Chains A and B, each alone.
Chain A
Amino acid sequence: AQSVTQLDSQVPVFEEAPVELRCNYSSSVSVYLFWYVQYPNQGLQLLLKYLSGSTLVKGINGFEAEFNKSQTSFHLRKPSVHISDTAEYFCAVSDPYNQGVKLIFGQGTELSVKP
Chain B
Amino acid sequence: ETGVTQTPRHLVMGMTNKKSLKCEQHLGHNAMYWYKQSAKKPLELMFVYSLEERVENNSVPSRFSPECPNSSHLFLHLHTLQPEDSALYLCASSQEPEREQFFGPGTRLTVL
A94 and B43 form a contact (CB under 8 A): no
Contact B108 A41 (CB under 8 A): yes
Tell whether A43 pairs with B90 under 8 Å between CB atoms, given A94-B98, A94-B99, A102-B33: yes
Given A94-B98, A101-B97, A103-B101, does the pair A42, B43 have CB atoms closer than 8 Å?
no
CB neighbours of B108 from chain A (8 A): 41
Chain B contributes a number of interface residues (CB within 8 A of A) equal to: 25
**Chain A CB within 8 A of B87 CB:** no
The reply to whether B48 and A102 contact each other, CB–CB distance below 8 Å, is yes
How far apart are the CA atoms of A41 and B33 in the complex, in Å?
19
Complex CA gap A108/B48 in Å reads: 21
Q: Give the residue of A44, A49, A94 whose beta carbon is less than 8 angstroms from that of B90.
A: A44
Taking a contact as CB atoms under 8 Å apart, the answer to whether B100 and A49 are in contact is: yes
Interface membership of chain B positions 99-112, coded 1 if the CB is closer than 8 angstroms to chain A and 0 otherwise:
11111111010000
Does B4 count as interface, using CB distance less than 8 angstroms?
Answer: yes
**Complex alpha-carbon distance, A45 and B92, angstroms:** 11
Question: Do B97 and A100 touch (CB < 8 A)?
Answer: yes
Contact status A102-B45, CB under 8 Å: yes
Q: Mark B76-110, 1 if CB is under 8 A from A, else 0.
A: 00000000000010101010011111111110100
A72 at interface, CB cutoff 8 A: no
Chain A, 32-86, CB within 8 A of any chain B CB: 32, 34, 36, 41-46, 49
Interface, chain B (partner A; CB < 8 A): 4, 6, 31, 33, 42-43, 45, 48, 55-56, 88, 90, 92, 94, 97-106, 108
